[in-house]
Amino acid sequence: MASISTADFKNGMCIINNGKMCTIVEFQHVKPGKGGAFVRTKLKDIKTGRVVDYTFNAGTKFDSVRLETKKMQYLYNDGADYNFMDNDTFEQLAIPAETVGAAADWLKENDEATLLYAGDELISLEPQMFVELEVTHTEPGFKGDTATNTTKPATLETGKELQVPTFIEIGDVLQIDTRDGRFIKRV
């Protein structure tokens, strides 16, 4: 790991702060009229996703971490692990369900996902930004229920339940934003 100073900060860079890997969301060098310069930062903890404000004295040293992303294809879930394949080498990788976490709600067989590595350690897994999933269960909508933006619960093929407009029926394929789980449109 290389050592860097606050003068080398860039947005998106990964550093180790208090023993935790964090990415720099934003930073600002401040030189007040009186006293020494300092750097205000917003750091995002890679494991928890929490964003916290920190202030460091100018010139403070940190260890930097090299992050690599890898696109892989999701193959199947064998109950305990989610299995992915590297599209370049065709090497298969089993990832425990705890590591996949909430991203499992948006993974459909043969879809691509982005895996984030720090060295050889898998840090996180992100599905595509928009996925197309089929509705497997929902209550029927009633004609004339369009006075307001009414919604109803629907279960998708991955088992995830979300709110959709009343005109959605079983068998419809929906485009979903995986960042916040919102219904975008019917495909």
Say what the pLDDT of residue 118 is: 83
Q: Are residues 81 and 31 in the same domain?
A: no
Q: Are residues 71 and 57 in the same domain?
A: no
Check whether 136 has a pLDDT greater than 80: yes
Q: Are residues 120 and 135 in the same domain?
A: no
CATH code where residue 37 lies: 2.30.30.30
Rounded to whole angstroms, the maximal C-alpha distance in the chain is 69
Total of domains in the chain: 3
Measure the CA–CA gap between 150 and 48, rounded to whole angstroms: 34
Q: Are residues 6 and 55 in the same domain?
A: yes
Q: Are residues 178 and 135 in the same domain?
A: yes
- On average, the pLDDT of the chain sits at 88
Say what the pLDDT of residue 149 is: 75
Q: Are residues 30 and 80 in the same domain?
A: no
Residue in this structure with the two tokens 């007040």, named with its chain if needed: 32
Say what the pLDDT of residue 145 is: 59
Name the phi and psi angles at 62, rounded to 5.
-135, 160
What pLDDT digit, counting tens, does each position of 144-186 carry? 656 667 888 999 998 899 998 888 889 999 999 988 888 888 8
Q: Are residues 46 and 83 in the same domain?
A: no
Structure tokens that stand for 47 in this block:
């494991």
Q: Are residues 176 and 164 in the same domain?
A: yes
DSSP letter at 89 equals: T
DSSP bridge partners of 5:
61
Q: Are residues 139 and 177 in the same domain?
A: yes
Give me the domain span that covers residue 54.
2-65
Name the phi and psi angles at 12, rounded to 5.
90, -10
Last residue of a domain, one of 127, 149, 173: 127
Check whether 56 has a pLDDT greater than 80: yes
Say what the pLDDT of residue 113 is: 92
Q: Are residues 86 and 114 in the same domain?
A: yes
What pLDDT digit, counting tens, does each position of 3-53 carry? 899 888 998 888 999 888 898 999 999 999 888 999 999 999 887 778 999
Q: Are residues 161 and 114 in the same domain?
A: no
Q: Are residues 142 and 116 in the same domain?
A: no
Measure the CA–CA gap between 161 and 135, rounded to whole angstroms: 9
